[in-house]
Amino acid sequence: MGSLVDLRLKSLCYPGRGPVLADLTLGLGPGEVVGIVGPTESGKTTLAYLLAGLIPGAVPGMASGRLVIAGRTWDFKGPPDRREWLRQVGLALAEPYYQLSGAADTVAEEVGFPLENLGLGPDRVRARAAGLLESFGLGPLADRSPFQLSVGQQQRVVLGATLAPGPKVLVLDDAFDHLDGAGWAALRRVLTEGKAEGKAAVLLSGRLRRLEGLADRLLWLEGGRLRPGPPPRPAVGPRSGPRAEPGPPVLEVEELWAGYSPGEPVLAGVSFRVRAGEALALVGPNGAGKSTLLLVLLGLLRPWSGRVRVFGLDAGREPPWRLARLIGYLPQNPAEGLFGPTVRDDVAFGPRNLGLSAGEVRRRAEAWLSAVGLGDRAGRHPLDLSPGWRRLAALASTLALETPILALDEPTVGLDDGLYGRLVGLLGRLKGEGRTLLLVSQDLEFVGQVADRVVFLAGGRPVGEDSARALLSGTAPAEGRPQPDSPPGPL
Site of interaction with other proteins (CB under 8 A): 52, 54, 57-59, 82-83, 86, 90-91, 95, 98-106, 109, 113-114, 116-119, 147, 161-162, 165, 295, 298-300, 319-321, 323-325, 327-329, 331, 333-339, 349-351, 353-354, 383, 397-398, 401
User: Taking a C-beta distance cutoff of 8 angstroms, is the pair 115, 87 a contact?
Assistant: no
Q: Which is nearer to other proteins, 310 or 424 (CB)?
A: 310
Closest distance of CB 319 from other proteins, Å: 7
CA gap 479, 424 in Å, rounded: 30
Whole-angstrom distance, CA of residue 437 vs CA of residue 169? 41
Closest distance to other proteins from the beta carbon of 281 (Å): 20
Closer Cβ to other proteins, 408 or 472, answer by number: 408
- Nearer to other proteins among residue 325 and residue 363 (C-beta): 325
Paired residues of 256 in beta bridges: 270
Q: What is the four-CA torsion angle of 150, 153, 154, 159, rounded to 10 degrees?
A: 170
**Closest to other proteins by CB, 104 or 219:** 104
Cβ-based nearer residue to other proteins, 31 or 320: 320
Give CB contacts under 8 A, 24+ apart, made by 324-327: 324/350, 324/353, 324/354, 324/401, 324/403, 325/354, 325/401, 325/403, 326/403, 326/404, 326/405, 327/297, 327/298, 327/403, 327/405, 327/406, 327/407, 327/438
Least CB distance to other proteins at residue 349 (A): 6
Q: How far is the CB of 101 from other proteins (least distance, A)?
A: 5
Q: Cβ 106 to other proteins, closest distance in Å?
A: 8
What angle is formed at CA 328 by the lines to CA 322 and CA 329, rounded to 5 degrees? Answer: 110
CB 378, min distance to other proteins, A: 17
- Least separation in angstroms between residue 25's CB and other proteins is 25
Question: Which of 63, 65, 67, 40 is closest to 51 using CA atoms?
Answer: 67
Rank residues 103 and 236 by Cβ distance to other proteins and give the closer one. Answer: 103
- Select 353 or 370, whichever has its Cβ closest to other proteins: 353
Q: How far apart are CA 210 and CA 386, in angstroms?
A: 19
Whether a cis peptide bond, with omega within 30° of 0, leads into 382 is no
Nearest to 485 by CA among 100, 181, 214: 181
